[in-house]
Homo-oligomer: A and B are copies of this chain.
Amino acid sequence: MPQILAITGGVGGAKLALGLAHLLGPEELTFAVNAGDDFNHLGLEISPDLDTLTYTLADLANPETGWGRSDESWQFMAALGEMGGETWFQLGDRDLALHVRRTELLRQGSSRTEAAATIGQALGVAYPLLPMSDDPVRTTVHTNQGALAFQHYFVRERCQPEVISFEFQGLAAARANPAILSCLDRVDGIVICPSNPYVSVDPMLHLPGMREALIAASAPVVAVSPIVGGAAIKGPTAKMMRELAIPNTASAVAAHYGDLLDGFILDEQDQELEGALGVPAVVTQTVMITLQDRVDLARNVLAFIETLT
């Protein structure tokens, strides 16, 4: 029985996460989830990446938006707007229940890890869902329009301001989730899902001791490129790379992860980059439109890990 740890952010990563979950049971697959874009909004503790993953695995995700719940209604948001409240971060009536529940659990003394487990179990998700840390980390995006809290940059300003740099408040003092660190001893492979390297994966890698622990693990670390043919399938990754003066290529992503990687998975469109990566690579279809695409990519990732073991 192989043991896999999947490191993931939100939408892009959750697609591969779902594919992996179709192939592996809860005893075989653990998720380490970005919490760098968590924030408190309207008094609610919101964990966008964890929420997207939870809904995806619970088969409750909204396929049209890529975030939030399916079968959603918006009465709360409409009433809040009428009352002068902030409406730039869309919270559906059903989605709201998750944030209220988490906020309550944390206030009652649950850790973020415990709250994630309680909510996941209530929604029928048996996989361990491990936030990267139980300590709060906040991302600030320094832009040409000043410093913006991550969700203000990402949602309210729709990623329009030009990125200068990212700052992860609280990261230096945050403790990597011990449940993630302890599973490194037993896993047979570590997958970095096709999430944004700079804002969805870096917060986890920059946790004190995390990168070193991943390198020290005997299991191979493979990443799936979130950049295909110079573009991001989802989200602002390619735009950010241009603004940061990084070539918006899959090989730049591989270089960014550097010596952490034992293997890299490229899309067919980027086949010509294969030889220049400096790590073993697999070229396959990485664009996930259908559920079958997700499962096929997951199968290729697992097969690749087996060749590296």
Contacts A82-B122, A119-B83, A122-B83: A75 and B94 contacting too (C-beta < 8 A)? yes
Binary contact readout A108-122 vs B (1 if CB under 8 angstroms, 0 otherwise): 000000000011001
In this complex, what residue of B is CB-closest to A106? B43
Task: Check: A155 CB closer than 8 A to any chain B CB.
Answer: no
Tell me if B73 and A104 are in contact (CB < 8 A): no
As a 0/1 sequence over residues 70 to 83 of chain A, the CB contacts with chain B under 8 angstroms (1 = contact) are: 00110111111011
Provided the pairs A43-B43, A75-B73, A107-B43 are in contact, do residues A84 and B96 lie with their beta carbons within 8 angstroms? no
Q: Are A84 and B118 in contact (CB under 8 A)?
A: yes
Is the Cβ of B83 less than 8 Å from the Cβ of A98?
Answer: yes
| Distance to closest chain B CB from A39 (angstroms) | 14
Category for how many chain A residues contact B: 20 to 34
Asked if A216 is an interface residue, CB under 8 A from chain B, the answer is no
CA distance A69 to B75 in the complex (A): 12
Most chain B C-beta atoms within 10 Å of own C-beta, residue among A42, A76, A78, A123: A76
A303 interface contact, C-beta 8 A: no
CB of A63 within 8 A of chain B? no
A76-B93 contact, Cβ under 8 Å, with A82-B123, A83-B122: yes
A239 interfacial by beta-carbon distance below 8 Å:
no
A72 CA / B119 CA spacing, docked (Å): 26
Interface string of A45-88 (1 = CB under 8 A from B): 00000000000000000000000010011011111101111000
Chain A residues 171 to 198 lying within 8 A of chain B, measured CB to CB, are none
Question: By the criterion CB–CB under 8 Å, are B83 and A101 in contact?
Answer: yes
Enumerate the 8 nearest inter-chain pairs by beta-carbon distance, A residue then B residue, closest first: A79-B97, A75-B93, A79-B94, A80-B97, A93-B93, A84-B122, A83-B122, A76-B93
Q: Known contacts A76-B100, A77-B97, A84-B122; can you find 14 more A-B pairs with CB under 8 A?
A: A43-B103, A69-B79, A72-B75, A78-B94, A79-B96, A79-B97, A80-B97, A82-B123, A83-B97, A83-B98, A83-B119, A83-B122, A83-B123, A85-B101
